[in-house]
Amino acid sequence: MEKKIADLQKKLDQKYPGCIQVELDQSRIVLTGVMNSWEDIIDACKMCVQKDKNIHVVNHIELKGVKKPQMRISSIQDTKYDGRHCDVLIIGGGISGASIARELSRYKLDILLVEKESDLAMQASGRNDGEIHPGVDLNKGSLKQKYVVKSNRSFDQLCQELDVPFKRVGQIVGFKDKKLYPIIWAYAMQRKYICGVDDTCLISRKKIKELEPNLSDDIQFGLYNPMAGSVSPYGLTIAYGENAIQNGVEIALNTAVLSMEVNNHKIIRVTTNRGMIYPDIVINAAGVFADDIAKMADDEFFSIHPRKGTDSILDLKAGKMISSIVSTKTLKKDNSHSKGGGIVHTVHDNLLIGPDAIETYEKENFATERKSIDQVFSKHQKTSNIRQSDIITYFTGVRAATFEEDFVIEKGRNTKNIVHCAGIQSPGLTTAPAVSKDVVKMTIDLLSEHKTVEKNELFNPIRKGIPDLKHMDLKKRNELIQKNPDYGIIICRCEEISKGEILDALNSVLEVTTIDGVKKRVRPGMGRCQGGFCMPLVAKIISEYKNIPLSEVRKSGADSIISYGKTKENTDETI
Amino acid sequence: MKQYDTLVIGGGPAGLAAAIGAKKENGEVLLLEREQRLGGILKQCIHDGFGLIQFKERLSGPEYVERFIQEFLSLNIDYETLAFVIKIDKKEGFYHVSYVSKKGVCEVTVRSLIIATGCRERTAKQIQIHGTRPSGVFTAGCAQHFVNLLGEKIGNKCVILGSGDIGLIMARRLTLEGMKVLGVYEAKATPSGLTRNLVQCLEDYQIPLYLSHTVTRVFGEERLNAVEIMQVDEKMRPIEGTQEIVECDTLILSVGLIPENEITESLGIALDLKTKGPYVDDYFMSSLENVYICGNALHVNDLVDYVSESGLIAGKNSMRQHVSTQSVSIDLSDDFLYLVPQRVSVHDVQESMFYFRAKKEMKAADLLVKVNGKEIMKRRYKNLKPPEMEKIKVKWEMGKISENDHIEIELKEDLCVK
């Protein structure tokens, strides 16, 4: 190992003379120094990645002249959770944290999940394409691959239990060069028989045309995985969270972990903006901030290098063009660390185009850029004739990548009472069901060292979602309206969402009474008018439900004011 | 199942006029309105200037539409509010329509359908505004709803993008409600709104208008705190290096309206790419038998008076006994932005009404109507501007249009007039 480090140092000195020092330290490779460009830092760190996946690269290189932005936290400061003890503290309310919370609630434990944002699934889990991956792009040897196929197969039951819409839309990767057929055939067979991706098959141009008549005529054959699916990533996260609450978990929103007190390899105390929490075990599911949490816990053995990607959503009309998840590939090496995105038929029947992949030192820069959209479109227009004029919205998410480009699912190395669920990027949404079960196993192992953990006999895996009236048969829809006339009042005309559904969203076990919270749960404002018509109506419903003036209704975070107050007294309009 | 001659979808100015028109032809009429009150978008248009053509008076939006509501109510026409059409099936020459209301899922069978669903606004994302997603970005109509219907103060310092009429009117409105309007920015080299609005809404309040400028980016994590403005070239592409940051907490977008044709499209009716509304013949009937389109769902009108007019015509026509979808299309010259109706029905006809917009400003132009190469009408126009719609009545001197007739309408700019 000593020699390996010396070799790495030599290589780095050749490429970046005098910039970086490499050290091997408790099975991690730590890079220190100062560099001028973030791209160079990423490059230097990548040069140090080892075949042995247990050795992670830790990046301590300073980016010259740049102060990395602080983690954004809610303006709320109180003592709501001060002095709170719990068996397990889960940090992060994304798909990882929420799924772990639900799986952990199968045990009789006091579980607290803290999320710094005003809702669940606010970062990567709410900002991705919602694909349930078949796993055909992954080879043996990674944690991603270990979990992906098993997890994919569990989605039918999971989504039934959690009452979350899920469709196995299938995935087609098209190839335009006939000569590639033997290579792709070998690849497909390896994936099918060695990696266990048993739904993999090759399909002819004719079959592709049958499945997807609007794909490019140049596509000669395709790699097909009918088990690929689409789900609403934030819908699934919220459903997991709600089921966890029903089974006894407490979820604390707007609650950010600021520091930890570690004593004798044990986390004693966790400081948040809402008081000090005293957990027995901590689960690190903090997404892009997982390395910061690990550092606070004195257990930093990996680094996250944020990589942002932008997706566009096309109008429902365009959704009729493509019914599955499609892309085209050449054999040209793709260094972008994303399989290059594609065109996804979402579970809500829109098309989603993207994402791209751009390295950034900003963990929370969700700003979109025109050039991302242009590039993604020019790439995927080779697959099908998609048009920018059909765009109804776009968004950016940031992937929480490690330099090894794999998950970190393990107990703390230095600190004894932490479990890391880190480095979760694609296919992290797909793998959540299996990953969460393993994280729970590790957590129970740790807890069992000093106490008996009992099963939660009352655990109920069933969560009832909000009725989706638009997709119901008319007879059932009529019955529901008879019972509750609010289901007959359409508030969002583009997505056909009723007042009753909006009230149900406000009434959920996890109360998120914001415009965006309602939008994520029942979709008013997700359509082609993007809330131009319904936003004032939804705001009014929230104000009536909460009995607060409109000036206290928020779009999302505590400071996302919509109105500054009344212009005059006695103005009122009911919906 | 209840049966009607005509179902009108939409209770705004077009739909109300259509229902009145059909009722006056002794039709059994049902009108469905998705909002709680009749009146459509006019409910929130509390500025004046409506009705100059129709009533020779300057009315506010609510006053204008109230006259139609009163006439509509006096005719005892069936209607429901908070009623939303979810499905239409065509069966044996009739339309089976399902809609939801507080009563449940209801169904009616009708012979004719009039689609008067109005239009919607283009959004920030449709014009490629990038950056974060803070609160404080409103379309003009949404802002109007908050300010005029709900009485809410939606901001303190506003930037308005788009010099369309709603943008101009909101500039005045927000100023009157105590907000500071920093400026109206317009990507085009010429203003998009009516001249009277430029004078009465901006000049009178000393609100600056910046032509060939657009908003390219918004800033702010929670509430908007600034926008980036850029100059644009003649093709409306931002010019690098012209970025300017303007601090503000509110961005109002008045960047165009699009006819709402979700129902029309669900029936398989083709849309005209120029108007973004369906193709219709001179009866305002679409390519589908007994389906009529009127008002802003057909094309975005400049004045509500024309919206009501088209509604009334469509309503009357919906009660015709013999209809034919046979029609001939009109060849338009390039100087038209669009012309509706786009087709003329094959029938005995004395005259047809057309509405059009020129593609660019013209000091003087001649409009020529030709049938089979022969000029049958010529009319001189002065000061044509794209924001201002024109109306023309064409007299067919042969008294009949047959399927082999070739109709051309030309707009020829007279460049000698400066």
Q: Which CATH class is domain A2-63?
A: alpha beta
Q: Which of B84, B120, B147 sits opposite A529 (nearest CB)?
A: B120
| H or E, element range at A351 | strand A351-354
| pLDDT value of position B416 | 87
B34, A490: Cβ pair inside 8 Å? yes
- Statement: A82-166+227-303+403-465 belongs to CATH 3.40.50.2000: no
Average pLDDT over residues B22-49: 97
Chain A residues closer than 8 Å to B147 by CB? 567
Q: Which of B120, B121, B130 sits opposite A369 (nearest CB)?
A: B130
- Are B94 and B170 in a shared domain? no
By residue range, what is the domain housing residue B229?
123-255
In contact, A347 and A356? CB cutoff 8 Å: no
Q: How far is A201 from chain B (nearest CA, A)?
A: 36
First to last CA, chain B: 63
Confidence of residue A338 (pLDDT cuts 50, 70, 90): very low
ipTM over 0.90: yes
In contact, A463 and A242? CB cutoff 8 Å: yes
Q: How far is A281 from chain B (nearest CA, A)?
A: 33
For the cut 70, the answer to whether the pLDDT of residue A321 exceeds it is yes
CATH topology for A167-226+305-401 is D-Amino Acid Oxidase; Chain A, domain 2 (3.30.9)
Q: Which of B234, B255, B276 is the last residue of a domain?
A: B255
How many A×B Cβ pairs under 8 Å? 147
Tokens matching residue A518: 């309602």
Residue A349 CB coordination number (10 Å): 15
Average pLDDT over residues A474-500: 97
How many percent of chain A have pLDDT more than 90? 93
Of B390, B334, B384, nearest in space to B362 by CA = B384
**Cα–Cα dist A328/A340, whole Å:** 9
Q: How far is B136 from chain A (nearest CA, A)?
A: 6
Query: Residue B222's domain is classified under what CATH number?
Result: 3.50.50.60
pLDDT in tens, B368-408: 999 999 999 999 999 999 988 999 999 998 888 999 999 99
Q: Where are the domains of chain A?
A: 2-63, 82-166+227-303+403-465, 167-226+305-401, 469-552
Q: Which of B220, B237, B255 is the last residue of a domain?
A: B255
Q: Which of A72, A493, A561 sits opposite B135 (nearest CB)?
A: A561
State the Cα angle at A37 between A33 and A38, rounded to 5°: 85
- Statement: A469-552 belongs to CATH 1.10.10.1100: yes
Tokens matching residue A527: 């359509």
**Cβ within 8 Å of residue A313, ≥6 positions away:** A346, A350, A351, A352, A353, A391, A392, A393, A394, A395
- Tally DSSP H helices, then E strands, for chain B: 7, 28
Pinpoint the alpha helices (H) of B289-359.
304-317
pLDDT in tens, B352-363: 999 999 999 999
Q: Which of B325, B351, B378 is the last residue of a domain?
A: B325
Half-sphere exposure of B356 toward its Cβ, with a 13 Å CA cutoff? 24
Tokens matching residue B91: 């069966």
What are the beta bridge partners of residue A313? Answer: A352, A393
Q: Which of A391, A482, A574 sits opposite B125 (nearest CB)?
A: A391
Tokens matching residue A474: 């008319």
- Are B50 and B163 in a shared domain? no
A488, B104: Cβ pair inside 8 Å? yes
Chain B residues closer than 8 Å to A370 by CB? 128, 130, 216
Catalytic residues of A: 133
Of A1, A28, A105, A110, nearest in space to A410 by CA = A28
- Closest chain A residue to the Cα of B175, Cα to Cα: A567
| pLDDT value of position A334 | 57
Chain B residues closer than 8 Å to A503 by CB? none
Average pLDDT over residues A87-106: 98
**pTM score above 0.80:** yes
**Cα–Cα dist A100/A95, whole Å:** 8
| pLDDT value of position A575 | 45
Phi, psi of A44 (to 5 degrees): -60, -45
- Are B276 and B382 in a shared domain? no
Q: Is the peptide bond before A355 cis (omega within 30 degrees of 0)?
A: yes
- Closest chain A residue to the Cα of B34, Cα to Cα: A490
- Are B127 and B244 in a shared domain? yes
| pLDDT value of position A123 | 97
pLDDT in tens, A16-30: 998 899 999 878 999
- Are B330 and B393 in a shared domain? yes
Say how many domains are in chain B: 3
Phi, psi of B306 (to 5 degrees): -70, -30
pLDDT in tens, A118-155: 999 999 999 999 999 999 999 999 999 999 999 999 99
